[in-house]
Structure 1
Amino acid sequence: MRPSARAWILEAAVRVTERDGITALTLQSAAEEAGVTKPGLMYHFRTRQAQLVAIQRHLTLRWESLLAEQLGRPPETAGDREKVTAGPRDIDLLPARMAVDGLWMLHATSNARLTPAVRAALVARITALAEPRAVAGCPERTELPARAEPPAPPRNAE
């Protein structure tokens, strides 16, 4: 099944963010990465803010889909404990990813800025959460499945 133009553009925007950082994500950079024109992208996302909100929803849906796949049923039918054990194998990685998402969303959508010292401490803590564990008795971290290379863009991407 071919991805929709919207999903294709969102994946391209995620790649730009992962590669170059949130400040590099513009409507133009996402359009170039997706191989569509800026007006073609703007058909789906009129503003950068709309694109950022859509990326967050897209990533949340991706995570929920992985969770449903691991559970073997819809996540809303499972209890919290079951969701945690069926989710990412390294539970510390999930809060680290959520913290990073929150940090870039704060930076991208707000005038509020963290002081350099607070930002450095937060980045250090997030990095520590994402590191393999050295604590005795903790199972070794297992990686989440890597995303496959993106398929060719849909023909009617605009």
Structure 2
Amino acid sequence: MRESKRSKILAAAVEVVQREGVTAVTFESVAAESGLTKGGLLYHFPTRVALLLGVHQHVAREWDRAMTEAAGKSAAEATAEERLAAYARVASRSGTRADLLLSLEASINPVYAEPWIEVMSQWAPSAKEAETDPAAFDRFIARLAADGLWMYEALTGEELAPGLRQRVSDRLAGP
């Protein structure tokens, strides 16, 4: 099946973010990365804001897809422990620098935050739940550790050895 131009554009934009950061996402940089023309990009994304929103939606959907695959079921069908395990496994093996940079940008821009909130509210333990429920508190601590591993690799550029990564992922995912 041929990759759609929209998907190709979004993948190219993610590569630009991974390599150079969110501010480097321009029609010119994404056109060069994708091999498409600027006009081709404008057909799918009429503004830079529309392009960046599309990137946020694309990456958030990828996280949702990966967590659904890790859990073997949707968030609605999974228990709190299964959702945490899926989140921990995905964050510990899939989180990239681009994901981190996009998440940081979403934290200060409500338009970009919406796709992330929609996905993470289904899968990741929240601080609100942790305030009153001891089991939710433990899941929240595991989430913070999973986020920490993701940030460690994104910020240091160091990748954990596969065996250590698996051990950390297994520990975070719980019994």
TM-score range relative to shorter protein: 0.5 to 0.7
Counterpart Cα distance in 2 of 1:75 and 1:128? 22
* 1:25 counterpart = 2:25: yes
- Residue identity matched to 1:55: V
Deviation string, structure 1 residues 48-68 (Cα, Å, up to 9, x no partner): 100111111100111111111
Percent identity over the alignment is 33
Counterpart Cα distance in 1 of 2:101 and 2:39? 30
Query: Counterparts in 2 of 1:49-88, with a 5 A limit?
Result: 49-88=49-88
- Residue identity matched to 2:103: G
Over the aligned positions, Cα root-mean-square deviation in angstroms equals: 3.3
* TM-score normalised by length of structure 1: 0.61
- The aligned residue for residue 47 of structure 1 is 47
Which runs of 5 or more residues in structure 2 are unaligned?
A: 112-146, 154-159, 161-165, 170-175
Q: Provide closer, same or farther for how the CA distance between residues 56 and 130 of structure 1 changes in structure 2, counting only shifts above 3 A.
A: same
- The aligned residue for residue 146 of structure 1 is none
2:9 match: secondary structure: helix
Higher relative contact order at CA 8 Å, sep ≥6: structure 1 or structure 2? 1
- The aligned residue for residue 141 of structure 1 is 168
- Residue identity matched to 1:78: A
Q: Provide closer, same or farther for how the CA distance between residues 127 and 75 of structure 1 changes in structure 2, counting only shifts above 3 A.
A: closer
* 1:101 counterpart = 2:102: yes
* TM-score normalised by length of structure 2: 0.56
Deviation string, structure 1 residues 98-136 (Cα, Å, up to 9, x no partner): 7643323448x8xxxxxxxxxxxxxxxx87863389xxx
- The aligned residue for residue 7 of structure 1 is 7
